[in-house]
Amino acid sequence: METTVPTTDCCESPTSPSRRAMLLGGASFAAWAYLPKFARAADGRDPRLVVVILRGALDGLATVAPIGDPDYAGLHGSIALTSSGPNAAPMLDSFFALHPAMPEFARMYRQKQAAVIHAVATSYRERSHFDGQDVLESGFAGPGRVQSGWLNRALESLPKGERVTSALGVGPTTPLVLRGAAPTVGWTPVALPQAAEDTAMRLIELYRHRDPALAAALTQGLALDKAAQGDDMKPKPGSNGIAAMRLVARGAAKLMAADDGPRIGALAFDGWDTHANEGGPVGRLAQLLSGLDGALAEFETGLGPRWRDTVVVVVTEFGRTARINGTAGTDHGTGTVALLAGGAVKGGRVIADWPGLKVANLYQARDLAPTTDLRAIMKGVLQDQFGLAERVLAETVFPDSTSVKPMKGLVV
Amino acid sequence: MARDSQAALVALNRFGFGARGGASGDFVNAASDPRGFVKAEMSRPNGVLLEVPGLQSTAALGKAVFDYQFEIQQGRDAAAKSAPAAATEGPQPPVDAKGQRRNLSLNSIAMDMAPREPPAKPQENANASMTPPETMQPAAPKPPPQPLNIIQKTFRAEALARLQRAVIADCGFTERLVVFWSNHFCISANKGGVARMWAGSFEREAIRPFVLGRFGDMLKAVEQHPAMLFFLDNQQSLGPDSRAGKNRNRGLNENLAREILELHTLGVGGGYSQDDVTSLARIITGWTYAGRQGQLGAPGTFVFNANAHQPGAQRVMGKSYESGGVAQGEAVLADIARHPSTAKFIATKFVRHFVADDPPPALVARLADVFGKTDGDLKALATALVDSEEAWKAPLTKVRSPYEFLVASGRLLAQIPGDPGRYLNGLNVLGQPLWAPAGPNGFPDSNAAWAAPEGMKLRLDISAQIASRLADTIDPRDLLELVAADAASMETRRTVERAESRQQALALLLMSPEFQRR
């Protein structure tokens, strides 16, 4: 007889996470399902790569503010950061300051384990979120190619090692960047009384005969949930969005820290589309950045000794208008930042070919003009971390991108 | 009488919300006249309206929520004055109160199992603290729950009315159409207290009256509805050269204009440019709603505020629109509603929803043609879909969305909800919180979204919970007859019959391909 009566500490606690909180935090995590051969390379390095996608378009000028640019304060107006006074933004060098909601990233930067690349954009120059995300994640030069993502194609180009799970399939929340032929696994933390194992086995048997796609999905869903469960998965009450972001990062780090865990993961956080009341040093964007900062700290803690060999890349589909709009927010723009964090990052630097913020220098007189192609950064990281050849990067991973050279020296 | 069991599955599941339990006879009726079974509801256009005693108009709800928020603000201001040292920016007490309210009975409920944090999005302060958890369970014996506030009460009443209608509907085709259009023109209740208050009335007033009417009329009703104006920030957008824009040194917000073109009508690649977005944003400046004090009109009603409107002619999609107040924007909407890109975009989405993730191109083309020739007659569009061969021949490959799955379960088990809590929590767990998609593009509509590993595992857990609560009184073998009759596969039949308990049998039935695919 199957019984599924929940226990008191299962999921009625007011502090336990919900799928909904996760989704509203917009967070999900997916990873590659093989243990790559390079993981046991002779030099003892066991590289890991995490790609964090911020959906909605991050305001790069608010995240890493060009305080030294004479036009910045005027353009960003009431939400501009300052390097003095209450909520001062810490200076990263003589020109750029970091948003004050990111103390962990600031510490990593001081420890030379974090870097910023500014005035970055993909090759996409329109302003639709959904197309912009498709370009960012597919790695193709234009929208409309959503069958596979660049990270998946990078994996396909690597020698395959042992499988880390027994199931194939792509989760609903698998970001496009990791979708494709190479098998991946997905996971979302959730607490719910679970169906009895026997019921699940019977259902899988039925699906095997009648519905192989659902058989694969369910098998994988059951396997992953087991792998990710732990005792310390409960978020702190209160700040749910932030807690949700940390929670996903903690679970992902736990999976990736294992000796047979995935080496490559991708996750996405929603909510960065700050059209109105974006806020300056405190406010809406500050809360989101604080959540991101916490997620990065969770990766550092959770990966433990593996942090040494890790690169976390934080990217977004495009930037936002340089000038604030009529509602103390910013509209869809172009150039923005990319952030790198991890023990393997050659950090303590803001890398920028700064275009300037004079109106004549803005892209279409409204956006930060991009001077670095985001693909150059991703290519540089993939080359340094996993030894992918430049030709593979230019033809397979980021098709038709021969003219975009990998950025050198991002990894220690 | 001819009996076509496979066509009955299409009629019930692809077009409707699934067979009802009890003595409904749904499967037999659908099998004897599948198309007629689906189309019967369309001959009762007023049947799409949701007129339930107690549900109020957007204006009445607006007035109530403005007053409520005003009181809260006054209370906060008073508290801040009396204790200035403690006056930090975020009003915390309501959040704490939420945390304490959730002491629920443990083992009674299936879908209540998911814990219920309030929406996690950081938002504007005043609104965030009022966004309620959809979670109240009055049954808890211990600490008495705090009374629901007016926003929570309204949301739950609206949700309940919608769920009850879906569970008792004959076929459910017109309710499926409501869900489709409501998702196409979605707002999110998580935007703030006002949006949560209006989520239901928005659907009742801007969607339902036009589901069997004209697309252009629905478009106008949606873009002028206070809930949409709030959701996409248009009430904040001021013409830079308008009187208000000059006085207050504020200006445009492109959000609504962009989504009108990208998500509501033409679609990405539909032929518009950034300049068109900006022009449309200027044209619809002044489209707003009256606030608490009612300076512009009755609180909570759409008003055109000429003081905020950008003066002058504007060009959109190559056509010039002369200055003319609210009529200027209405003329643009009327034109883009008729644009061929809109017909194609809508037809594609419609077929993708009802037939297949990869919609058959010939059927899309035919529906786009119908849309164009009938000037966006949505009844004609739905009729053309039901009359098509493709919609009946295409295999049932799509997995039910969480909403469809939970409603179908409720119908089969004849559980007309008296409280929306279980449904709302189930939707939260499965990633489709009612009226609260993550972005203005609505919930996804593909197997990649709903048939993925994590989702299938959670569906199984929820099915097991439903079964543990309800299976004692039913015979799962009888239910299988109601669901699929002789269209059930041997394997499903055997799996249900050989289950070790009624509970297990029901959980397996709810998870069977016959119940999950449509």
Distance of CA A298 to the CA centre of its chain: 13
Residue of A nearest to B188 (CA): A24
Q: How far B374 CA lies from chain A's nearest CA (Å)? A: 30
Weakest-pLDDT range from B217-221, B399-403, B501-505:
B501-505
Q: Read off the pLDDT of residues B239-298 as tens digits, 9 standing for 90 and up.
A: 999 999 999 888 899 999 999 999 999 999 999 999 999 999 999 999 999 999 999 999
Interchain contact, B456 vs A192, CB within 8 Å: no
DSSP letter assigned to residue A396: I
Of residues A12, A167, A241, nearest to B120 (C-beta): A241
pLDDT range class, residue B144, cuts 50, 70, 90: low
Shortest Cα distance from B78 to chain A (angstroms)?
A: 23
On chain A, the residues whose CB falls within 8 A of the CB of B457 are 218, 221-222, 225
Q: At what angle do helices B453-470 and B502-511 cross, to 10 degrees?
A: 140
Using CB atoms, which residue from A14, A167, A216 is nearest to B99?
Answer: A14
Residues in A closer than 8 angstroms to B458, CB to CB, are 19, 190, 192, 221
Residue B141, pLDDT > 50, answer no
Instruction: State residue A198's pLDDT score.
Output: 76
Q: If you average pLDDT over residues B209-214, what whole number do you get?
A: 97
Look at residue A32 and give its three-state secondary structure. strand
The span from the CA of B356 to the CA of B489, in Å, is 22
pTM of the entire predicted model:
0.72
**B-chain residues within 8 Å CB-CB of A318?**
none
Is the pLDDT at B213 greater than 60? The verdict is yes
Given pLDDT bands bounded at 50, 70 and 90, which one contains residue B187?
Answer: very high
The size of the A-B interface in CB pairs under 8 A is 273
> How many angstroms away from the CA of B492 is the closest CA of chain A?
7
Interface of B with A in 293-332 (CB under 8 A): none
Q: Please indicate whether, in this complex, the C-beta atoms of A221 and B253 are within 8 angstroms of each other.
A: no
Answer whether B439 touches A (CB < 8 Å): yes
Kindly state the average pLDDT of the residues B229-235: 96
Pick from A15, A165, A199 the residue to mutate for testing the B interface (most B CBs within 10 Å): A199
The residue in chain A having the minimum alpha-carbon distance to the alpha carbon of residue B454 is A221
Q: Does B457 touch chain A (CB under 8 A)?
A: yes
Residues of A in contact with B499 (CB under 8 A): 202
Answer yes or no: do B258 and A332 touch at CB < 8 A: yes
Report B:202-221 residues touching A (Cβ under 8 A). Answer: none
- CB within 8 Å of chain A, chain B residues 148-177: none
Q: What are phi and psi of A274, to 5 degrees?
A: -90, 70
More confident residue, B233 or A155: B233
Among chain A residues, the shortest Cα distance to B235 is held by A327
Q: What are the structure tokens assigned to B149, written together? A: 């506030």
Instruction: Tally the residues of chain A.
Output: 412
* For chain B, percent of residues with pLDDT exceeding 70: 88
Considering only CB atoms, A170 lies closest to which of B255, B452, B504, namely: B452
Chain A residues with beta carbon closer than 8 angstroms to that of B308:
none
Q: If pLDDT is split at 50, 70 and 90, which confidence band does B170 have?
A: very high
Cβ pair A172:B454 closer than 8 A: yes
B424 touching A (Cβ < 8 Å): no
The answer to whether B258 touches B242, Cβ cutoff 8 Å, is no
pLDDT at B342: 98
- Extract the residue ranges of chain A whose pLDDT is less than 50: 1-27, 40, 165-173, 190-192, 230-240
pLDDT of residue A37: 61
Give residue B189's pLDDT: 96
- State the complex-level ipTM: 0.82
Q: In the predicted model, what is the mean pLDDT of chain B?
A: 87
CB contact under 8 A, A19 and B431: yes
pLDDT value of residue B130: 29
- Decide the pairing of beta strands A349-351 and A114-121: parallel
Mean pLDDT for B470-496 is 90
Give yes or no for a contact between A199 and A181, defined as CB atoms under 8 angstroms apart.
no
CA atoms within 13 A on the CB side of A288: 28
Which of B454, B498, B515 is the best residue to mutate to test the A interface, defined by the most A CB atoms within 10 Å of its own CB? B454
Give strand ranges (E) for A357-407: 372-373
Cα–Cα distance measured from residue A310 to residue A29, given in angstroms and rounded to the nearest whole number:
17
CA distance A296 to chain B (A): 19
Closest chain A residue to the Cα of B500, Cα to Cα: A1
pLDDT value, residue A36: 64
The predicted pLDDT at position A159 comes to 76
Mutation target vs A (from B273, B427, B435, B456; most A CBs, 10 A cutoff): B456
pLDDT score, position B249: 80
Give CA–CA dist A383/A409, Å, rounded. Answer: 10
Q: What's the CA dihedral at B417, B418, B422, B426 to 10 degrees? A: 40
**Which residue in chain A is spatially nearest to B516 when comparing CA positions?**
A214
Residue pointed to by tokens 């004050």: A100
Residue A184, pLDDT score: 75
Q: Which two tokens stand for residue B25?
A: 């006879």
Query: How close A157 gets to chain B, by Cα (Å)?
Result: 24
Q: What integer pLDDT is reported at residue A270 of this predicted model?
A: 75
Burial B33-65 (b: 16+ CB within 10 A, else e): bbbebbbbbbeeeebbebeeeebbebbebbbbb
3-state secondary structure of A185: strand
Give me the residues of B, 251-270, that contact A with CB < 8 A. Answer: 251-255, 258, 262, 268
Examine the pLDDT at B124 and tell me if it is beyond 70.
Answer: no
pLDDT score, position A336: 98
The string of DSSP letters for B322-338 reads ---THHHHHHHHHHHHT
Task: For residue A292, give how far its alpha carbon lies from the nearest alpha carbon of chain B (Å).
Answer: 13
Helix axes A240-257, A212-228, angle to 10 degrees: 90
pLDDT digits (tens, 9 = 90+) for B41-57: 999 878 999 999 999 99
